[in-house]
Amino acid sequence: MSCRQCEIAQRNPLSGLYSATCDSCKARAIANGTDLYDAKRAGEMTPRYREALEKVFGDRWQKGHEMVKKWASNQKGTT
Ligand SMILES: [Zn+2]
C-alpha cells in the first residue's frame, strides 16, 4: 500500500501501526473501528460511519470509503 505501516499491516492485520499522514492508514483505522462494525451490522452506511469518513477525508469521503472496504475485506478471516 502507500507507506511502511500499511505494508506491515498487509502482512499482519493486527499490527495496529498507523501513520498520521497516510490516507490508507486513516482508512485502516476506520476499518478497525466500531463505526464500521456498527454500519456492517446495520447493513447500511450509518450516520456515524459517514461522519467518521467525512472527518478524516472531507470531500473525498467516498474514496475513503473504498479504501476502508479494501482494508476490511483484507482483514476478513484473520480476526
Ligand atoms: Zn499507511
CB-based contacts of 46, cutoff 8 Å, min separation 6: 35, 38, 39
Distance from residue 59's CA to the centre of ligand 1 (Å): 20
Distance from residue 62's CA to the centre of ligand 1 (Å): 18
**19: region left, alpha or beta (phi > 0 left; psi from -120 to 50 alpha):** beta
d(CA 53, CA 47): 10
The 10 Å CB-count burial string (b at 16+, else e) for 32-42 is beebbeebeee
Mean pLDDT of 13-41: 93
pLDDT at 22: 96
pLDDT at 12: 87
Residues with CB under 5 A from ligand 1 (ion): 3, 5-6, 19, 22, 24-25
In this prediction, residue 77 has a pLDDT band, given cuts at 50, 70 and 90, of low
Distance from residue 40's CA to the centre of ligand 1 (Å): 23
pLDDT at 79: 46
d(CA 22, CA 50): 19
Mean pLDDT of 21-34: 95
pLDDT at 78: 47
